[in-house]
Structure 1
Amino acid sequence: MSAAPHIDRFLRIDDVMDITGLGRATVYRRMSDGTFPKQVRIGTNSVAWRQSDIVEWMANPTASSDQSVH
């Protein structure tokens, strides 16, 4: 029997702010600095973050992120 597949979720900015405790401006500033996961485009006018990227960042928030827009 194989292991269950990893299920990831897309998080919107309000979810990211709730989970991390960061403010909107801080999230975008850290993305710009390369110290926070980049958002991914999920529609023409929609972006979100992968939950797995946020969880990984939270495990070591002071490390720089090499995440890029997927």
Structure 2
Amino acid sequence: MRLIKLKDVTSLTGLARSTIYKYISEERFPKPVSLGERNVAWVEEEIQGWILEKIAERDLA
């Protein structure tokens, strides 16, 4: 299991920081893991799973 920082999440998804946090508040994106007072990261497998879900949704449409 690997944790990735926001810069990597934005790079993988193509989403802006504000969009990622908006989707998190709407429960449409994986929540980050707290690493400290002002430090968070995401589980890479959860981000990859989210991307695969988006691809599957596209293919069903």
- TM-score normalised over the length of structure 1: 0.72
Q: Residue 2 of structure 2 corresponds to which residue in structure 1?
A: 9
What is the CA-CA distance between 1:46 and the residue it aligns to?
Answer: 1.1
Q: Which structure's residues are more often helix, by fraction?
A: 2
Q: Which sections of structure 1, spanning at least 5 residues, go unmatched?
A: 1-7, 63-70
Query: Of residues 25, 43, 49 in structure 2, which corresponds to 1:50?
Result: 43
Structure 1: distance between partners of 2:38 and 2:28:
24
Secondary structure of the residue that 1:22 maps to in structure 2? coil
Query: Of residues 12, 18, 27 in structure 2, which corresponds to 1:25?
Result: 18
- TM-score normalised over the length of structure 2: 0.82
Q: Residue 67 of structure 1 corresponds to which residue in structure 2?
A: none
Following TM superposition, where does structure 1 have runs of at least 4 consecutive aligned residues deviating by more than 4 angstroms?
none
| Percentage of identical aligned residues | 36
Instruction: Select the structure with the greater relative contact order (CA < 8 A; seq sep ≥ 6).
Output: 2
Aligned residue pairs, count: 55
RMSD value over aligned CA atoms?
A: 1.4
State the structure with more CA Rg. Answer: 1
Is the counterpart of residue 39 in structure 1 residue 52 in structure 2? no
Structure 1: distance between partners of 2:4 and 2:33:
10
